[in-house]
Amino acid sequence: MADMATVQMDADALNTFLQSLFPGGREGLAKIDSVSPGRARLSLMPGDGNLRPGGIVSGPTLMTLADTAAYAMTLAHIGPVAMTVTSSLTYQFLRACPVERIHADVRLLKLGRRLSVSDVQIWTASPDRLVGQATVTYAIP
């Protein structure tokens, strides 16, 4: 059984696996920068397709980043189980997200046989100034 103290997939393995799952759609999506037991960091450089009126990053882009971060965190601990799916995602928009590199720090809160729960903090210039926070639950087949 998977546990929170052991990583099954590192950042390179996760990036490769996600590319294989979404061969036509990974462009413009987050990159997994680092993985350690219970934690990971992802980053995304938003493009024109990620913007909304007002010249800020769109809400769907930020929620996708949070979802991807939780998916990567779960897979890092259970291995390449593609059909692990989002069960719940709650997102808090804390401030407008400027058009610059976005970071997602994800922390695994709980890993069970059927569910994983992650906390995702999203920021740009400083991790002390969050643009959003999400709690994401994944169902594990």
CATH of 11-139, one of 3.20.20.210, 3.40.50.10890, 3.40.50.620, 3.10.129.10: 3.10.129.10
Residue type, 62: L
pTM, to two decimals: 0.95
| Residue 25 CB partners (closer than 8 Å, separation 6+) | none
- To the nearest 10 degrees (0 to 180), the angle between helices 11-21 and 59-78 is 120
Of the pLDDT bands very low, low, confident and very high (cuts 50, 70, 90), residue 27 is low
Of the pLDDT bands very low, low, confident and very high (cuts 50, 70, 90), residue 2 is confident
- pLDDT (tens digit, 9 = 90+) per residue, 32-67? 999 999 999 999 999 999 999 999 999 999 999 999
pLDDT of residue 22: 83
Domain ranges in the chain are 11-139
- pLDDT (tens digit, 9 = 90+) per residue, 80-138? 999 999 999 999 999 999 999 999 999 999 999 999 999 999 999 999 999 999 999 99
